Amino acid sequence: KAVLVDDVATSGLSLLNVARIVRGKGCKVEHAVVIVDMLEGAKEKLASEGISLKSVFTREDFKEIA
């Protein structure tokens, strides 16, 4: 099993490409964790491939700070 970890998720394409590579090596990928989800479709794109996306923050959290 593998969990994908990245700093930012935008479209989700990078995470999805890595998931496909890791799965191609025989690992099961069901989860990805990022520091910031930019809320630009990554969660939905990964979910369509059976991968849940969890984030520490979203783009909306930073609007409250600014």
Residue 40: give its domain's CATH number: 3.40.50.2020
Query: Looking at the predicted structure, is the pLDDT value of residue 66 above 70?
Result: no
Query: According to the model, what pLDDT value does residue 40 have?
Result: 98
Say what the pTM is: 0.90
Q: What domain count does the chain have?
A: 1
Q: Which residues are 33's β-sheet partners?
A: 5, 54
Q: Which residues span the domain enclosing 50?
A: 2-65
Q: How far is CA 59 from CA 4, 35, 37, 56, in A?
A: 20, 10, 6, 10
Q: What is the pLDDT of residues 20-53, one digit of tens each?
A: 999 999 999 999 999 999 999 999 999 999 999 9
Residue, of 63 and 30, whose pLDDT is higher: 30
3-state SS string over the chain?
A: CEEEEEEEECCCHHHHHHHHHHHHCCCCEEEEEEEEECCCCHHHHHHCCCCEEEEEEEHHHHHHHC
